[in-house]
Chains A and B, each alone.
Chain A
């Protein structure tokens, strides 16, 4: 007989709440202890409908496959030919997304440049301006033009191979940047014209334009300053993709970069990352629809980002109409971020490999998201560049494997008709049939 239970009444098993989960409770305790919302890096960790919910059908009798290794499957892409004298020519449709110097160390930026260049693709600056390392090691460098204008100057603008006007990021549509004091080294402070050690809050709106009509004039100014030579991209978060894409095209963008809610960030509020924005899968078709409605599909390029991890993701994004993709988090992992080899140190920081996301604190054991000289020294930019190149090559080979199986001699020839969805949600978002059916929710003419 149980001494706490003298009458012998059986206990129910302890039951955890589906509402007040261990995660939720730890959030509440953290908030109660600190009085400050949780800030972290990375993208949405919640499960949302994704490319994993889509499958390619492949070829059989009705479709005709291409021979692997023997029949060509092209991967090149040209970005920005609409208005720019010198569009960007890439060997592969996988680009490196804008990640700020400040969030990342100088050597990490160098490694991104090395890896991207070796794989025949572009890399992108970020909040905080252009560093000599990344310009020097990137064959094709896209220069971000952000609301903060930290480090923004016309000399660097003219050194860029393309300009990306950042309106928003998938991780935080409508939010600005955040670089906390502990990561503001002398070099970062100088590039941003701010005192060392203070929190740097990047604005969420551009200081000198608001709305699509102004954006058109801003693009005109940037083109005049750079002599109409380089393409101008507009980066938007996956908020209202049909309208945002329409307005970016109307304002004269050469390319639209569209970033879904799984997209990483260097630092923002967890509540922002998890609760604002739409999943990457849901934003492609409306954006492609906007391009098609304006007769601009394949003329203005669509670069998709937010949770791209593999050649399968690349192929699926392209089948749904994207011209290229961009990767952030995956590139950092290829460089060595969150590697289990540092497990003991992750544990010491109260986390574990794979879950480490306090990038804003500058204590990254892998030496990538830090400005601490000792930690930075752990990271070898040459080795990092080699790893990134390998990873980009593997993704490309994977995408080609799928495209050949679908009978396509260029990744751009993949089409929605090659896909089926595993769930109703994914079918509705991607506008491809639920596997085994001819139907998806919202299909025109079906009445549902």
Chain B
């Protein structure tokens, strides 16, 4: 395992080193110490490596991730794993706003709670939150799955498209054009896989599914009050 002391080499050198890892690198496990809430740690990775950050991170940790697995052994700042394409990101603590925003693929697991706008504009990413999520989560969510083992805040799934939202606890309120949907066997299947991958022992049968009512898909003046 390679260890990088961020307080010694600085952000640029650290990311440069990680970016230099090719698909066939032998150095597949990395540890970053002294992150001290720095921004943009391990963003833009594109190799099958595993990076463990020993502490809390600032904005955009693991942003735009491809292939890599990033473990955050602390809490994560805003925009963690934003626009992730593939790979996995695990946050041991809580995540701030916009976790997994616009993500196209991969898996984001938050062991604690996630703040507002979790999965905003999600485009294919899978997100599993062991705790609760804040308001406006999955706003304009396009595709992918958001799984919440705890409760969801206000305006869940507002103006969402085809993203699937699964919540085990309560939903404070649904956003515009978001409704509860039938849980079909294929959904239980998706849930089972995601919960297993995320290390959660929650039972798929305890969740409810939410998604777009598709009333706002094409503009209709009679729906204007919903906006």
Q: Do A and B actually bind?
A: yes
Identify the A interface with B (CB < 8 A): 34-36, 148-149, 152-154, 157, 180-181, 192-195, 197-199, 201, 203, 207-209, 214, 217-218, 220-221, 224-228
Instruction: Name the B residues within 8 Å of A201 (CB-CB).
Output: 140, 159
Cβ A195 vs Cβ B162 within 8 A: yes
Tell me the smallest distance from the CB of B62 to a CB of chain A, in Å. Answer: 11
Cβ B101 vs Cβ A207 within 8 A: yes
Q: Which of A148, A221, A228 contacts B59 (CB 8 A)?
A: A221
Complex Cα distance A419/B39, Å? Answer: 47
- Once A193-B142, A225-B63 are accepted as A-B contacts, the answer to whether A36 and B104 lie under 8 Å apart by CB is no
Tell me the smallest distance from the CB of B85 to a CB of chain A, in Å. Answer: 6
Cβ B98 vs Cβ A208 within 8 A: yes
Tell me the smallest distance from the CB of A262 to a CB of chain B, in Å. Answer: 26
Cβ B40 vs Cβ A220 within 8 A: yes
Cβ B12 vs Cβ A228 within 8 A: yes
Complex Cα distance A214/B143, Å? Answer: 26
Tell me the smallest distance from the CB of B212 to a CB of chain A, in Å. Answer: 10
1/0 contact string of B210-222 vs chain A (CB within 8 Å): 0000000111010
Tell me the smallest distance from the CB of A193 to a CB of chain B, in Å. Answer: 4
Cβ A193 vs Cβ B85 within 8 A: no
Q: Which of B97, B104, B117, B219 contacts A153 (CB 8 A)?
A: B104
Q: Which of B44, B104, B221 has the most CB of A within 10 A?
A: B44
Q: Does B120 contact A (CB under 8 A)?
A: yes
Cβ A227 vs Cβ B16 within 8 A: yes
Cβ B142 vs Cβ A207 within 8 A: no
24 pairs, CB–CB < 8 Å, chain A vs chain B:
A152-B102, A153-B85, A154-B44, A154-B64, A157-B64, A193-B124, A195-B217, A199-B218, A203-B121, A207-B98, A207-B101, A207-B140, A208-B82, A208-B97, A208-B98, A214-B78, A217-B39, A218-B59, A221-B40, A221-B60, A221-B63, A225-B44, A227-B16, A228-B12
Instruction: Name the A residues within 8 Å of B40 (CB-CB).
Output: 217, 220-221, 224
Cβ B219 vs Cβ A36 within 8 A: yes
Q: Which of A34, A180, A209 has the most CB of B within 10 A?
A: A209
Count B-side interface residues using an 8 Å CB cutoff: 42
B85 (CB) vs chain A CBs: closest residue? A153
Instruction: Name the A residues within 8 Å of B221 (CB-CB).
Output: 34-36
Cβ A193 vs Cβ B218 within 8 A: no
**Shortest Cβ-Cβ A-B pairs, 8 listed:** A225-B44, A35-B221, A208-B79, A149-B102, A198-B217, A208-B98, A154-B64, A208-B101
Complex Cα distance A17/B102, Å? Answer: 51
Complex Cα distance A154/B79, Å? Answer: 15
- Once A154-B66, A217-B59 are accepted as A-B contacts, the answer to whether A207 and B121 lie under 8 Å apart by CB is yes
Q: Does B28 contact A (CB under 8 A)?
A: no
A209 (CB) vs chain B CBs: closest residue? B79
Complex Cα distance A242/B226, Å? Answer: 36
Tell me the smallest distance from the CB of B226 to a CB of chain A, in Å. Answer: 13
Cβ B218 vs Cβ A220 within 8 A: no
Extra 9 A-B pairs, beta carbons < 8 Å, given A154-B66, A199-B217, A227-B19: A148-B121, A157-B64, A181-B217, A199-B219, A201-B159, A203-B140, A208-B101, A209-B79, A220-B39
Q: Does B113 contact A (CB under 8 A)?
A: no
Instruction: Name the A residues within 8 Å of B124 (CB-CB).
Output: 193
B98 (CB) vs chain A CBs: closest residue? A208
Instruction: Name the A residues within 8 Å of B117 (CB-CB).
Output: 207
Complex Cα distance A192/B124, Å? Answer: 11
Interface residues of B in 169-227 (CB under 8 A from A): 217-219, 221
Tell me the smallest distance from the CB of B114 to a CB of chain A, in Å. Answer: 13
A35 (CB) vs chain B CBs: closest residue? B221
Q: Does B135 contact A (CB under 8 A)?
A: no
Complex Cα distance A181/B218, Å? Answer: 7
Instruction: Name the A residues within 8 Å of B121 (CB-CB).
Output: 148-149, 203, 207
Q: Which of B11, B16, B104, B117 has the most CB of A within 10 A?
A: B104
Cβ B218 vs Cβ A217 within 8 A: no
Q: Does B123 contact A (CB under 8 A)?
A: yes
Q: Does B115 contact A (CB under 8 A)?
A: no
Complex Cα distance A209/B46, Å? Answer: 23
Complex Cα distance A193/B102, Å? Answer: 11
Q: Which of B11, B46, B66, B101 contacts A224 (CB 8 A)?
A: B11
Tell me the smallest distance from the CB of A81 to a CB of chain B, in Å. Answer: 19
Cβ A193 vs Cβ B82 within 8 A: no
- Once A199-B217, A203-B140 are accepted as A-B contacts, the answer to whether A208 and B120 lie under 8 Å apart by CB is yes
Instruction: Name the B residues within 8 Å of A203 (CB-CB).
Output: 121, 140
Complex Cα distance A243/B102, Å? Answer: 29
Tell me the smallest distance from the CB of B199 to a CB of chain A, in Å. Answer: 26
Complex Cα distance A208/B66, Å? Answer: 19
Instruction: Name the B residues within 8 Å of A218 (CB-CB).
Output: 59-60
Instruction: Name the A residues within 8 Å of B219 (CB-CB).
Output: 36, 180, 199
Tell me the smallest distance from the CB of A36 to a CB of chain B, in Å. Answer: 5
Instruction: Name the A residues within 8 Å of B139 (CB-CB).
Output: 207
Complex Cα distance A194/B104, Å? Answer: 12
Cβ B58 vs Cβ A217 within 8 A: yes
Cβ B98 vs Cβ A154 within 8 A: no
Instruction: Name the A residues within 8 Å of B159 (CB-CB).
Output: 201
Complex Cα distance A296/B117, Å? Answer: 36
Cβ B19 vs Cβ A193 within 8 A: no
B60 (CB) vs chain A CBs: closest residue? A221
Tell me the smallest distance from the CB of B39 to a CB of chain A, in Å. Answer: 5
A223 (CB) vs chain B CBs: closest residue? B40
Q: Does B83 contact A (CB under 8 A)?
A: yes
Tell me the smallest distance from the CB of A437 to a CB of chain B, in Å. Answer: 51
Complex Cα distance A363/B121, Å? Answer: 30
1/0 contact string of B45-74 vs chain A (CB within 8 Å): 010000000000011100110100000000
Instruction: Name the A residues within 8 Å of B58 (CB-CB).
Output: 217
Complex Cα distance A199/B58, Å? Answer: 35
Instruction: Name the A residues within 8 Å of B101 (CB-CB).
Output: 207-208
1/0 contact string of B144-182 vs chain A (CB within 8 Å): 000000000000000101100000000000000000000
Complex Cα distance A36/B219, Å? Answer: 9
